[in-house]
Structures are given as structure tokens and as C-alpha cells.
């Protein structure tokens, strides 16, 4: 009897711990129509971006039990055949925190196709020790995952760093697996460390790939991504940089370095300067992957810290960006982002052929001819970017129920921001001061 009640008790404890109730969405006024959001509750970083068995896979940091991210994180999961129409997989939770090495949270990571096995490489937060270590889980159907019995596959943090050690991003080069992980040096500055493996299970530490001894690029680098594009190597990560005029205005942002990587010496020689990936109010924890069409595609979490996200009172929080294709500017000095071509599939009725009246000025996007800056103003909170000397301004603007994404001059500048207006305000597009030639085209987008 005692035994049975003990088992029942343990069962109840496990049940309440791992299957706590999902929160309800109480109001859908800010729910996004064509962006990836959580069914209910909290979403943060995009994880495990991949193409496997005919589907695009996007996993995301997920806490279905709260809209403030208070519970341990899991991996939520959506798939799509075209990067536009997404559906939640069943079950929607791909990886739950149910092992000693990840019970504090199944944190950010990546996914690769390893000979027909979709392998997730993720951060496990050990609740008791607070350690962040690398684990893997595999799937043959792309939906159900089995955690590897030999986890954690990186059982200790690098000896020359602190225990801030997370967000493994894996790729293959010449038959060898490589992995970058976000870390902090013993002097408390952000850095990215590099590993190598033949089988995704045994990893060798190769040392720092990049770090910044003087702390000018933040005290911790989260979600590093390292890839080859148009003849160069790019490293981007999430961090915190002291504001410098128009630059680094958000608390939490993605910055990048461009350089050359030598696989023999494992040295990444990069330019001293670093830049923001996006100049809007909300953009963080971006992740990229290479798709079968050889495109480099990125999703990010539309977030900045210290911002009030109004949907949190409605039982959910946060959205990912639309998928963007990356490339380098023709002089090789900047990363550009353009919306993936497939997004035109969303186009419904074309409904604009003349400017319409605007109601209120909560959100204003304009090009300031005096300063040469593109300005996005959200309730007086300004983000602006110097566009350089331009003869023409070309804007693609994606509006959803509570977000705006602006792609200026073919991805030279992008600005991503959340905004709140219920109902969505009328939109006005206009040009003044004798602009020679203006063309507008607008579409209602399908859900
Ligand atoms: C970035 C981040 C990652 C971590 C995850 C936890 O937003 O802090 O470094 O793995 O979120 O949810």
C-alpha cells in the first residue's frame, strides 16, 4: 500500500512538473496572421532551422505554461513545404526538459541532417548545478526525437571560459562537423568557441573562434552563427553593446563580423568593425541555415529586452520574423537581408492605387531628405539609419497584426519592430518635396 501511494505520489509529482497546464489565449487582437507564433504562451529564439524529408523545420524556444517565459523552455515545432504556410507538428513539443541534464530547460541549438537522421544539437540547463552543456537528440521522421544515451556530448565547459556556455550551431565542411558555441571569457567578455567532431557525439575543443578582449562587443555572446557566403565568412551573435548615437539602440541586438576563415589553422581573421543585422526596435537571437536551393535563410526573434510586449496580457508572447535570404553587398562589407521569394505567395487582392488617409501617428516610417536617414518612429521612440547618398529609395514593407518589417534598397537596411494598435490603423503612403517618380503597390496578405 505504502509502495503504491509512493509510486502514485511520484507519478503525480512528475505529472505536475512536466505536464503543467498550457495557458489560454484570452484575446486575439495582436495575434499575427502569417508569422510564426506559439499556439499559446511564450516563444523566444528560433532553433534547429533545417530542411528535412521535404519539409522546412523551425523549432522555437517555448513555454506553453506562461506568457512571461517563467517556466523551463522546451522546443516547439512547426513545419512548412514552402516557407510560407506553417503548421504545428503533432505533438508540437519536440524536446521537453525531462532529463537530469536538461530539466532546467531545453535551450537554444541547431539541427542538421546526418545521413537521414535529423539531429538536434541543443543546450541543456542542469537545474541543480546550473551548468549549460551540449546534448543531442535524433529523429528519423523529423517529428519524434530520442535523446542520446551518452548525453551530454560536451560534458564540461571550456577550461578558459565561464559557465555561460550555450547555443551550439553545427555545420559540416569536408566531411567534418564543426560547432560554434556562445561563451564568456574568464575576464567576462563575450566570445565564440569552436569544436570539431566526426560523428556529432565526440567533440574536440579547438579554442576561441573570436573574442573581444576589451569588452566593446558585450559581456556574453548568445546564439552565434558562422557561415560562408559570397566568398567570405560571417560570424553573427546576440549581445549587448553600448549605444552610440543611432547605433546599438536596443537592449539586446544581433551584430556581425565579416572575415576569412582558414580551416587548416582554424583562424578567423575579421574586420575590426562590426555592424547590426537589423536596425529596428525588436530583433534578436537570429539563426540561419542553408536550404536545398543553396540559399542562406534567416529567422529572428522580434524582441528587445526592457520592452513592454502588450500581448503578454492576452496569454501569449512574441513572434519570429518572416524568413529572409542573406547575401553580401557587392563590396563585401555588409550583410544584406531580403524577404524570401516565396513570400509573394501570400499576396491576395491588390487594393491600393492611391494614397489613403491616415489615423494617428503611432507608427511612422519616413525618409528624411535633410539627414539622409530612414526613420522608423514608434510612439516617439526613434530608430534611424543613414542610407548614404542614394538616388532612389525602394521599400518593401511587411505589416502583420502587431509587427512591421522594412526592407530598404534591396536589403541594404532592414528594420523590424513590434507595434500595437487595435484595430490596425489605416496606412498612408505618400511622397513630398517634389520627388520625381513615385510608385506604390500594396497587397492584402493571406493568413
Ligand atoms: C537567447 C537565449 C539563449 C538561450 C535561450 C534560453 O535569447 O538566452 O542564449 O539558450 O535564450 O531560452
pLDDT above 70 (res 353): no
Query: If you average pLDDT over residues 297-312, what whole number do you get?
Result: 95
- Spacing, Cα 167 to ligand 1 middle (Å): 7
Instruction: Tell me, in angstroms, the distance from the centre of ligand 1 to residue 56's CA.
Output: 22
Pull the grid cell for residue 131. Answer: 551548468
Arithmetic mean of pLDDT, 132-152: 98
Atom of ligand 1 nearest to the CA of 303: 7
The CB density around residue 386, as the number of other CB atoms within 10 Å, is: 14
Position 446 confidence tier, pLDDT thresholds 50, 70, 90: confident
pLDDT level of residue 103 (50, 70, 90 thresholds): very high
- In this prediction, the answer to ipTM > 0.85 reads yes
Judge whether 278 and 247 are in contact, CB under 8 Å: no
Q: How far apart are alpha carbons 281 and 278 in whole angstroms?
A: 9
Q: Cα–Cα distance between 204 and 102 in angstroms, integer?
A: 22
Mean pLDDT rounded to a whole number for the chain: 91
Element spanning 13, H or E:
helix 2-18
Percent of the chain with pLDDT over 90: 80
Among the listed residues 48, 11, 15, the one whose alpha carbon sits nearest the alpha carbon of residue 122 = 48
Q: What is the pLDDT of residues 54-75, one digit of tens each?
A: 999 999 999 999 999 999 999 9
Residue 344: helix, strand or coil by DSSP?
helix
Supply the residue whose CA is at minimum distance from atom 12 of ligand 1: 107
Nearest CA to ligand 1 atom 6: 107
CA 238 to ligand 1 center in whole angstroms = 9
**The ligand 1 atom nearest the CA atom of 61:** 12
Q: Can you point out the beta strands (E) in 87-201? A: 87-95, 105-114, 117-125, 132-139, 146-147, 161-173, 176-185, 190-197
H/E stretch holding 18 reads helix 2-18
pLDDT band at 350 (very low <50, low <70, confident <90, very high): confident
| Number of other residues whose CB lies within 10 A of the CB of residue 5 | 10
Lowest-pLDDT choice from 242-246, 299-303, 359-363: 359-363
Positive or negative, the Cα torsion across 72, 217, 188, 289? positive
Q: pLDDT class for 436, splitting at 50, 70, 90?
A: low
Q: Quick one: which H or E segment has residue 12?
A: helix 2-18
Residue 290: enclosing H or E segment and its boundaries?
A: strand 284-290
314, 280, 350: which is closest to 32 by C-alpha?
314
Does the CA dihedral 240-241-243-246 come out positive or negative? negative
Instruction: Give me ligand 1 centre to Cα 71, in Å.
Output: 13
pLDDT of residue 115: 97
CATH 2.115.10.20 fits 39-343, yes or no: yes
Distance 222 CA to ligand 1 centre (A): 7
Per-residue pLDDT band for 440 (boundaries 50, 70, 90) equals: confident
Cα 327-347-56 angle, rounded to 5 deg: 50
Residues across the chain = 447
The yes-or-no verdict on residue 235 having pLDDT over 60 is yes
Res 338: pLDDT: 98
Radius of gyration (Cα) for the chain, nearest Å?
22
The catalytic residues are 45
Strand blocks (E) in 53-86: 55-63, 74-80
Residue 178 above 70 pLDDT? yes
Helix%, strand%, coil% for the chain, nearest 5:
5, 45, 45
Compute the distance from residue 107 Cα to the ligand 1 centre, in Å. Answer: 6
Q: Which of 46, 66, 73, 223 to mutate to test the pocket of ligand 1 (most atoms within 8 A of CB)?
A: 223
Cell reading at 25: 489565449
Q: Are 233 and 258 in contact (CB under 8 A)?
A: yes
Q: Which residues line ligand 1 (CB under 6 A)?
A: 44-45, 61, 73, 107-108, 123, 166-167, 222-223, 238, 285
> 39: which 3 cell numbers?
499556439
Q: How far apart are CA 316 and CA 65, in angstroms?
A: 9
Residues 6+ apart with CB under 8 A from 320: 35, 36, 37, 43, 46, 58, 60, 299, 300, 301, 302
Question: Cα separation of 87 and 430, whole Å?
Answer: 37
Residue 433: its pLDDT value, please?
63
Probe target for ligand 1 pocket from 222, 286, 299, with the most ligand atoms within 8 Å of CB: 222
**pLDDT given for residue 435 in this prediction:** 63
Pocket test for ligand 1, best of 134, 167, 168, 192 (most atoms within 8 A of CB): 167
- What DSSP element (H or E) covers 15? helix 2-18
Specify the pLDDT at position 357. 45
| Strands 41-52 and 316-317, sheet pairing | parallel
Residue intervals of the chain classified under CATH 2.115.10.20 are 39-343
Nearest atom in ligand 1 to 223's CA: 9
The answer, yes or no, to whether residue 3 has pLDDT greater than 50, is no
Amino acid at each position: 500500500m505504502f509502495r503504491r501511494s509512493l509510486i502514485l505520489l511520484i507519478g503525480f509529482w512528475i505529472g505536475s512538473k512536466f505536464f503543467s497546464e498550457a495557458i489560454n489565449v484570452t484575446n486575439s487582437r495582436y495575434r499575427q496572421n502569417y508569422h510564426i507564433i506559439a499556439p499559446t504562451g511564450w516563444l523566444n529564439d528560433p532553433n534547429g532551422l533545417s530542411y528535412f524529408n521535404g519539409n522546412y523545420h523551425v523549432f522555437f524556444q517555448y513555454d506553453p505554461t506562461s506568457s512571461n517565459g517563467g517556466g523551463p523552455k522546451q522546443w516547439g515545432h512547426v513545419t512548412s513545404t514552402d516557407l510560407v504556410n506553417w503548421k504545428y507538428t503533432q505533438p508540437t513539443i519536440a524536446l521537453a526538459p525531462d532529463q537530469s541534464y536538461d530539466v532546467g530547460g531545453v535551450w537554444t541549438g541547431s539541427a542538421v541532417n546526418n545521413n537521414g537522421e535529423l539531429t538536434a544539437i541543443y543546450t541543456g540547463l542542469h537545474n541543480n548545478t546550473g551548468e549549460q552543456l551540449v546534448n543531442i537528440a535524433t529523429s528519423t521522421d523529423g517529428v519524434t526525437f530520442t535523446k542520446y544515451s551518452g548525453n551530454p556530448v560536451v560534458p564540461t565547459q571550456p577550461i578558459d571560459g565561464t559557465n555561460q556556455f550555450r547555443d551550439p550551431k553545427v555545420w559540416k565542411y569536408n566531411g567534418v562537423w564543426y560547432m560554434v558555441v556562445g561563451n564568456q571569457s574568464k575576464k567576462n567578455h563575450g566570445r565564440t568557441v569552436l569544436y570539431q567532431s566526426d560523428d556529432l557525439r565526440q567533440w574536440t575543443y579547438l579554442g576561441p573562434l573570436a573574442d573581444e578582449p576589451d569588452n566593446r562587443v558585450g559581456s556574453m555572446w548568445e546564439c552565434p552563427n558562422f557561415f560562408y557566403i559570397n566568398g567570405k565568412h560571417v560570424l553573427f551573435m546576440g549581445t549587448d553593446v553600448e549605444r552610440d548615437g543611432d547605433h546599438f539602440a536596443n537592449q539586446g541586438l544581433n551584430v556581425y563580423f565579416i572575415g576569412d576563415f582558414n580551416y587548416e589553422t582554424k583562424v578567423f581573421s575579421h574586420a575590426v568593425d562590426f555592424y547590426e543585422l537589423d536596425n529596428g526596435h525588436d530583433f534578436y537571437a537570429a539563426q540561419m541555415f542553408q536550404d536545398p536551393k543553396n540559399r542562406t535563410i534567416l529567422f529572428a526573434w522580434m524582441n528587445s529586452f526592457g520592452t513592454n510586449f502588450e500581448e503578454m496580457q492576452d496569454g501569449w508572447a512574441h513572434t519570429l520574423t518572416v524568413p529572409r535570404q542573406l547575401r553580401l553587398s557587392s563590396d563585401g562589407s555588409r550583410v544584406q537581408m531580403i524577404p524570401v521569394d516565396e513570400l509573394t505567395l501570400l499576396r491576395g487582392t491588390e487594393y491600393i492605387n492611391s494614397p489613403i488617409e491616415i489615423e494617428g501617428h503611432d507608427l511612422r516610417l519616413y525618409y528624411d531628405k535633410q539627414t539622409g536617414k530612414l526613420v522608423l518612429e514608434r510612439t516617439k521612440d526613434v530608430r534611424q539609419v543613414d542610407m548614404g547618398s542614394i538616388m532612389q529609395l525602394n521599400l518593401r514593407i511587411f505589416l502583420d497584426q502587431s509587427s512591421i518589417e522594412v526592407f530598404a534598397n534591396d536589403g541594404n537596411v532592414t528594420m523590424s519592430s513590434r507595434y500595437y494598435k487595435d484595430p490596425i490603423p489605416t496606412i498612408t503612403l505618400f511622397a513630398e518635396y517634389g520627388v520625381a517618380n513615385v510608385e506604390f503597390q500594396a497587397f492584402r496578405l493571406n493568413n
